[in-house]
């Protein structure tokens, strides 16, 4: 029965990775840009959720935690999306307009991530923040397997977000435009499609999901610190690449795969070996299948 417990844990971890990986993959799919700041946007999301929740609970309205949660989620998602869009407007778009090489945008993203991390550290100090309890914890037990409501919410949220994004990208007009941009960025404006609007929309989607992941993560592990986004962000990025970056299914599969590998390693070996095994396995997958599980090799013309 222990195995079911591990599977549940793996699903929960995988959900976080998947939610963040979705943001990486969306931006990459449209812009061919590795948005290295994404892990830190997730961190900012968690902090925004913290401040919103503390502000709501701190007011003398006697607001119940449940209502506070219902307000915190959309507010955090909107504000985090705003952070993502600000990055795109102030840093990525000017470079794109100049027709700069992709590499310079990647470096800018990397640096933007550093600014978010260290700016946070400098502004708020190194003391860790304790996230308030917004959800009354209830434990459901089936036989010998016990599951908290939060765990179920996390897993359901990841799957719901995946279905939503899959629907947007494959079934709607704006999703078609997104796929069009990734196919040919130069022909798309000629078809009367507003390039910048679509890109901003992509950033809104990706960063909003990072904000959602931030809230859920802060609720599951209620200690916030400025570098929390770095490691989980890099790992989610690796998950996105293993799944085949640019493909939404890839992000979700890669995220859950990483979750299962990590929990599997921890279940058998000492937990300090987790990163070593996880990264070695991912490296072997990439070596055998260089474009990731769902990725399609691009044919290059000479």
Partner 1 sequence: MQKHSFTIAMIASMAVLTALAQFGFINQYIQSVIMLMGVNIILSASLNLVNGYMGEFSCGHGGFMCVGAYASSVMTVLLFSKNQILGAPLLPESMALFAFPLALAVGAAVASVAGLIVAVPSFKTRGDYLAIITLAANYMVISAIDNLEIIGGPRGFMGMNATVNAMNSVVNIPWMLIWVILGTIFSVWILRRFVSSTLGKGVPAICQDEIAAEIMSVDTNRMKLIAFMLSSGLAGLAGGLFAHILGYVNPHSFDIMKSTEVMVMVYLGGMGSLSGATLSAVLFTLLLEVLRPLEIWKWVVIPLLLILLMQFRPEGLMGNKELSDLFPKLRKYYSFK
Q: Binders of partner 1 among 121-140, rule CB under 8 A?
A: 121-122
Q: Min. distance of Cβ 89 from partner 1 in angstroms? A: 13
CB nearer to partner 1: give 107 or 164: 107
Token pair, residue 218, equals 């802060």
Q: Which is it for the CA torsion 260, 278, 34, 185, positive or negative?
A: negative
Q: Binders of partner 1 among 90-109, rule CB under 8 A?
A: 91, 94-95, 98, 100-101, 103-108
Report if residue 54 touches partner 1, rule: CB under 8 A: no
Stretch touching partner 1 by CB under 8 A, among 46-54, 127-135, 175-183, 235-243: 235-243
Using the structure block, give the residue that is written with the tokens 């003398």.
Answer: 60
Q: Min. distance of Cβ 108 from partner 1 in angstroms? A: 5
Kindly give, in sequence order, each residue whose CB lies less than 8 Å from that of residue 20, ignoring residues fewer than 6 positions away. 38, 39, 42, 209, 210, 213, 232, 233, 236, 237, 255
Using the structure block, give the residue that is written with the tokens 């309890």.
Answer: 133
Pick the binder of partner 1 from 42, 132, 292, 294 (CB under 8 A). 292
Cβ neighbour number for residue 104 with a 10 Å cutoff: 11
Pairing of strands 223-224, 145-148: unpaired
CB nearer to partner 1: give 190 or 288: 288
Q: Min. distance of Cβ 109 from partner 1 in angstroms? A: 10
Window 267-286: contact mask with partner 1 (x via CB under 8 A)? ---x-xxxxx--xx-xx--x
CB nearer to partner 1: give 23 or 208: 23
CB nearer to partner 1: give 164 or 296: 296
- The number of helix segments (H) and strand segments (E) in the chain equals 11, 4
CB nearer to partner 1: give 208 or 233: 233
Using the structure block, give the residue that is written with the tokens 């100049």.
Answer: 98
The DSSP-derived string for 189-258 is GGGT--HHHHHHHHHHHHHHHHHHHHHHHHHHS-EE-TTHHHHHHHHHHHHHHHH-TT-HHHHHHHHHHH
CB nearer to partner 1: give 132 or 243: 243
Query: Taking Cα atoms as reference points, which of 252, 301, 298 lies closest to residue 32?
Result: 298
Through-space distance between the first and last CA atoms of the chain, rounded to whole angstroms: 57
Pick the binder of partner 1 from 55, 63, 70, 111 (CB under 8 A). 111
Q: Min. distance of Cβ 211 from partner 1 in angstroms? A: 22
Kindly give, in sequence order, each residue whose CB lies less than 8 Å from that of residue 258, ignoring residues fewer than 6 positions away. 13, 14, 17, 235, 236, 238, 239, 242, 278, 282
Token pair, residue 258, equals 């990483």
Q: Rounded CA gap, 136 and 232, in Å?
A: 26
Q: Min. distance of Cβ 168 from partner 1 in angstroms? A: 24
Window 195-234: contact mask with partner 1 (x via CB under 8 A)? -----------------------------------x---x
Q: Min. distance of Cβ 32 from partner 1 in angstroms? A: 8
Pick the binder of partner 1 from 237, 256, 260, 294 (CB under 8 A). 237
Integer-rounded Cα Rg, in Å, for the chain is: 19
Give the footprint of partner 1 on this chain (CB under 8 A).
28, 34, 91, 94-95, 98, 100-101, 103-108, 110-112, 114-115, 117-119, 121-122, 230, 234, 237-238, 241, 245, 270, 272-276, 279-280, 282-283, 286-287, 290-292, 300, 302
């Amino acid at each position: 029965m222990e195995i079911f417990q591990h599977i549940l844990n793996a699903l929960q971890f995988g959900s976080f990775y998947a939610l963040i990986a979705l943001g990486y993959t969306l931006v990459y799919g449209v812009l061919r840009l590795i948005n290295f700041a994404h892990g830190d946007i997730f961190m900012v999301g968690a902090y925004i959720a913290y401040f919103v929740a503390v502000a709501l609970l701190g007011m003398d309205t006697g607001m119940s935690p449940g209502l506070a949660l219902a307000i915190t989620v959309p507010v955090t998602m909107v504000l985090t999306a705003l952070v993502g869009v600000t990055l795109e407007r102030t840093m990525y778009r000017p470079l794109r307009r100049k027709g700069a090489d992709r590499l310079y945008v990647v470096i800018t993203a990397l640096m933007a991530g550093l600014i978010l991390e260290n700016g946070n550290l400098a502004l708020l100090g190194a003391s860790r923040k304790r996230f308030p309890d917004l959800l009354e914890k209830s434990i459901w037990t089936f036989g010998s397997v016990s599951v908290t409501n939060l765990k179920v919410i996390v897993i359901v949220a990841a799957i719901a977000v995946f279905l939503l994004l899959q629907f947007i990208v494959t079934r709607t007009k704006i999703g078609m435009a997104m796929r069009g941009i990734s196919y040919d960025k130069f022909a798309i404006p000629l078809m009367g499609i507003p390039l910048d609007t679509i890109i901003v929309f992509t950033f809104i989607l990706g960063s909003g999901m990072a904000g959602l992941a931030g809230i859920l993560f802060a609720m599951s592990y209620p200690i916030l610190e400025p570098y929390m986004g770095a490691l989980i962000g890099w790992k989610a990025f690796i998950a996105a690449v293993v799944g085949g970056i640019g493909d939404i299914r890839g992000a979700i599969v890669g995220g859950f795969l990483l979750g299962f590998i990590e929990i599997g390693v921890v279940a058998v070996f000492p937990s300090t070996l987790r990163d070593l095994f996880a990264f070695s396995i991912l490296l072997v997958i990439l070596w055998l299948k260089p474009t990731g599980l769902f990725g399609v090799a691009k044919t290059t013309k000479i």
